[in-house]
Amino acid sequence: MLHGIDVSSHNSANYALQGLDFVFVKVTEGTSYTNPKWVTQRNRARNAGLVVGYYHYVTPGSMSAQAGYFLDKIALRAGDVLALDWEHPDVWCLDKDRWLEDVKDAAPAHRVVLYCNRAYWFNRDTTDNAGDGLWIADPDHAAGRPAVQHPWTFHQYSWAGGLDRDVARFDTRAALREWAGA
């Protein structure tokens, strides 16, 4: 398994790199918020040779507008992973599916994954659509052992120490890069 973190404006732009293979960076939320640290956070991961992913926190409203807002901020490179952060209580399963589809249509060379917690996956999701991979938040279970039957790609297993810690279901960084299209 590979190890990574996900960061947002709540985290330092100078996060520790020791032992990391990948980093997901929050870029946008809705159609009006952009993480002021995202470029610096991304550059830190890229300069260290890590696989980079970007995520968007979805809010109620037009999924197409939010997908466009998110993608307009990023100068995508081959191998960048895109993710939807589905946590808002007023965003429904069909909204989630629309966002995933819109982003995949606009960036077909990139993997597009769904981030959500187990409660959303079990109780709000009605389509089992996680795009190109499920990134499941399950801090109640050990790294790489989330309590879901669906195949998962990333597992957020801890929120300790002010950082969200993740693992990826790949044996090597090269395998993750290949999956991501680098």
H, E, C per residue of 76-123: CCCCCEEEEECCCCCCCHHHHHHHHHHHHHHCCCCCEEEEEEHHHHHH
The pLDDT value recorded for residue 76 is 96
- The model's pLDDT over 40-63, given as tens digits with 9 standing for 90+, comes to 999 999 999 999 999 999 999 999
pLDDT band for 70, please (50, 70, 90 cuts): very high
In this predicted structure, the answer to whether residue 24 has a pLDDT above a threshold of 80 is yes
Q: What pLDDT, on a 0 to 100 scale, did the predictor assign at position 114?
A: 98
Q: Is 166 helix (H, G, I), strand (E, B) or coil?
A: strand
Residue 161, amino acid: G
Residue 165 sits at the vertex; the CA angle it makes with 174 and 138, to the nearest 5 degrees, is: 110
Band the pLDDT of 162: cuts 50, 70, 90: confident
Per-residue confidence (pLDDT) for residue 156, from 0 to 100: 98
Which tokens is 136 given? Answer: 């499941």
| High-pLDDT (> 70) share of the chain, % | 100
